[in-house]
Structure 1
Amino acid sequence: MTASVFIDGAVGTTGLEIADRLSGRDEFTLITLPEDRRKDDAARAEALNAADFVILCLPDDAAKAAVAMIDNPRTRVIDASSAHRVADGWTYGFPEVVGRETVAAAMRVSNPGCYPTGFIALVAPLVKAGLLPASWPYTVTAVSGYSGGGKALIARFEDDTDIAFRDYGLSLGHKHVPEMTKLAGLVHAPVFAPAVIPAHRGMVVEVPLPLAAIPGAAAPAALLACLKQAYAGSEVVTVHEGTPDELLLRRSTAPSDRLDLHVFGAKDGSQARLVAVLDNLGKGASGAAVQNLNLMASLPETAGLAL
């Protein structure tokens, strides 16, 4: 049976990539609005209530308003904004962390943020297993392609090719921090240092660990083994062994819905670097939404994904 899907905010970067992943799939029928009715609330409300599944690719306030327009108990929602990531009544859409069955059964799913996807994937299993303490004040540094910043940032980077590096979030309190703290099971909010580089897509998220100073922290080999066990059998998440000379983000990298995790440890075990590499538009946004949609529709988890 074909399920209907309405992407509210379909002309944005995330919406376009979701539509691309759903194109040619006969399990879904897309509900679309003509350009002159795309911002018409009456037309949107009709589409929101007609769809079996709604995917919101909107700013936070607009996403909340869209949810309020749904007046039936049948329509299921995936929200790609940050509006509902720690909200009561919403399931966090990271099936590898919260459980595939949990996502599959949910009526309201909030897509993880791109940076939190890397941080939570690395830290949550280790804290849960007791290999890292929940009470440690963690730091997360990250760089992303500019496409995650929306149309304005995309235009800025493409118009001003002299920008080599954009550090931001300098006032701290970034909107991604609450979901990082909650989903990783932490006592203290991590210090989050994000940056943007002149590449359209791609992301590296890193958690440096001074293991010798962290009470009760396990050795790098144990951290690696734990992550390998946590993601065993996943077609999306790969935990790598070995230490390459370098990790690269390339401007020419094709879209990907993978998530690659690494544990790099000092020879004496005193320090480690946890590193996640992903596509901010893939597992960090559109790919995650389609993965969640597949589960909610009782379809193969990786259908339509680029792996």
Structure 2
Amino acid sequence: MTSVFIDGAAGTTGLEIRDRLGGRSDIAIVLLDDARRKDADARREALNDADFVILCLPDDAAREAVALIDNSRTRVIDASSAHRVAPGWVYGFAEIAPGNQAAIANAARVTNPGCYPTGFLALVAPLVRAGLIPADLPLSVNATSGYSGGGKAMIAEFESGGASAFRPYALQLGHKHVPEMATHAGLAHAPIFAPAVSNTYRGMVVEVPLHLHALPGSPSLRDLEDALRAAYDGSPLVSVAAGDVGAVDIAENAGTDRLTLRVCGNAAAGQARLIATLDNLGKGAGGAAVQNLNIMAGLDPHAGLIL
């Protein structure tokens, strides 16, 4: 049986992961009560005794937790943004590139992707790799998440009834997700990232607009769709749906670990809208951590996931 210590199990992501693992016979969850969670010695012991540690902490606390691990046996999955572009850490998005699942399986340190970057990278990284999007093309990404991604304070605010229906934020363009978007898509320039939060508990829409005439060879909508279908062929989690739809629902994949991609647009105008839907707590957070744990532990990669 594989032992797992969730450091930060009382937070939104930690609770999601704990619920996913709680009923499994192949996983033993290491728990600390409230008093022992605040005991430095007890926490250090738990960090070093477990086969796997999943960090659901603020960035600085995640770095501190890693520093407390003084053995070469304990393997770490960090759900914070502390290590997403750090040397020595494998990026925990199994489907993002050929060979990445094998890299996760062999890694001692894996960093979970951010929820927004998961949608962005799923759309953009394969197209950059295929040469359809130049690495130096300026990109923008518009995205809206359910309010559960904001943690307990934001959840309380929205559920009190006092919050607006739609709230753009990060208006100074310094969001912490931007470096991983640029790095793991292989971009020369950071994209303009325009996130917002919506008055829905969970779910996410991520969109990247493109001028097709600005791309090498002026590819068609079908060319982009075919490249995405080839990149995720056979994946039980990531799929490409038809783009000839009138609207996309933010909650399309809420409550699941699915990630759905679409190439929408107007062929005559030469414009495209790449759109991804996912659950910010599923494939965007807790579900991704469980998937990475399964892969690292040599278990069924999709055990405990909601397909």
C-alpha distance in 2, partners of 1:33/1:172? 38
Residue 70 of structure 1 aligns with which residue? 69
Report the CA distance between 1:265 and its aligned residue: 2.7
Residue 263 of structure 1 aligns with which residue? 263
Cα deviation, 1:228-251, whole Å, max 9, x if unaligned, reads 010001011011124122111349
Question: Is the Cα–Cα contact under 8 Å of residues 133 and 216 in structure 1 kept in the other structure?
Answer: no
- Which is further off, 58-67 or 234-243? 234-243
Structure 1 residues 64 and 77: CA distance shift in structure 2, 3 A:
same
Question: Is the Cα–Cα contact under 8 Å of residues 91 and 112 in structure 2 kept in the other structure?
Answer: yes
Question: Is the Cα–Cα contact under 8 Å of residues 132 and 216 in structure 2 kept in the other structure?
Answer: no
Question: Is the Cα–Cα contact under 8 Å of residues 125 and 186 in structure 2 kept in the other structure?
Answer: yes
Matches for 1:46-57 after TM superposition, within 5 Å: 46-57=45-56
C-alpha distance in 2, partners of 1:162/1:284? 23
Report the CA distance between 1:211 and its aligned residue: 1.2
Report the CA distance between 1:302 and its aligned residue: 0.7
Question: Is the Cα–Cα contact under 8 Å of residues 6 and 55 in structure 1 kept in the other structure?
Answer: yes
- After TM superposition, the score normalised by the length of structure 2 is 0.96
Report the CA distance between 1:140 and its aligned residue: 0.1
Residue 106 of structure 2 aligns with which residue? 105
Residue 187 of structure 1 aligns with which residue? 188
Supply the AA of the counterpart residue of 1:256.
T
Residue 32 of structure 1 aligns with which residue? 31
SS of 1:96 mapped into structure 2: coil
Question: Is the Cα–Cα contact under 8 Å of residues 203 and 254 in structure 2 kept in the other structure?
Answer: no
Supply the AA of the counterpart residue of 1:19.
R
Matches for 1:92-241 after TM superposition, within 5 Å: 92-98=91-97, 99-241=100-242
- Superposed CA RMSD in Å reads 1.4
Aligned residue pair count: 305
Residue 284 of structure 2 aligns with which residue? 284
Question: Is the Cα–Cα contact under 8 Å of residues 139 and 191 in structure 2 kept in the other structure?
Answer: yes
Question: Is the Cα–Cα contact under 8 Å of residues 78 and 109 in structure 1 kept in the other structure?
Answer: yes
C-alpha distance in 2, partners of 1:124/1:156? 35
C-alpha distance in 2, partners of 1:77/1:218? 41
Question: Is the Cα–Cα contact under 8 Å of residues 144 and 204 in structure 1 kept in the other structure?
Answer: yes
SS of 1:272 mapped into structure 2: strand
Supply the AA of the counterpart residue of 1:119.
F
- Which is further off, 149-158 or 291-300? 149-158
Report the CA distance between 1:215 and its aligned residue: 4.3
Residue 12 of structure 1 aligns with which residue? 11
Question: Is the Cα–Cα contact under 8 Å of residues 163 and 199 in structure 2 kept in the other structure?
Answer: no
Structure 1 residues 282 and 136: CA distance shift in structure 2, 3 A:
same
Report the CA distance between 1:161 and its aligned residue: 3.3
SS of 2:175 mapped into structure 1: coil
C-alpha distance in 2, partners of 1:68/1:24? 30
Identity %: 63
C-alpha distance in 2, partners of 1:228/1:133? 19
C-alpha distance in 2, partners of 1:12/1:113? 16
C-alpha distance in 1, partners of 2:300/2:293? 10
SS of 2:268 mapped into structure 1: coil
C-alpha distance in 2, partners of 1:217/1:174? 31
Unmatched 5+ stretches in structure 2:
none
Structure 1 residues 193 and 258: CA distance shift in structure 2, 3 A:
same
- Which is further off, 167-176 or 34-43? 34-43
Cα deviation, 1:242-267, whole Å, max 9, x if unaligned, reads 4122111349x751111000011313
Residue 296 of structure 1 aligns with which residue? 296
Question: Is the Cα–Cα contact under 8 Å of residues 202 and 280 in structure 1 kept in the other structure?
Answer: yes
Question: Is the Cα–Cα contact under 8 Å of residues 141 and 193 in structure 1 kept in the other structure?
Answer: yes
- After TM superposition, the score normalised by the length of structure 1 is 0.96
C-alpha distance in 2, partners of 1:137/1:128? 16
Question: Is the Cα–Cα contact under 8 Å of residues 132 and 217 in structure 1 kept in the other structure?
Answer: no
- Which is further off, 172-181 or 35-44? 35-44
Question: Is the Cα–Cα contact under 8 Å of residues 132 and 216 in structure 1 kept in the other structure?
Answer: no
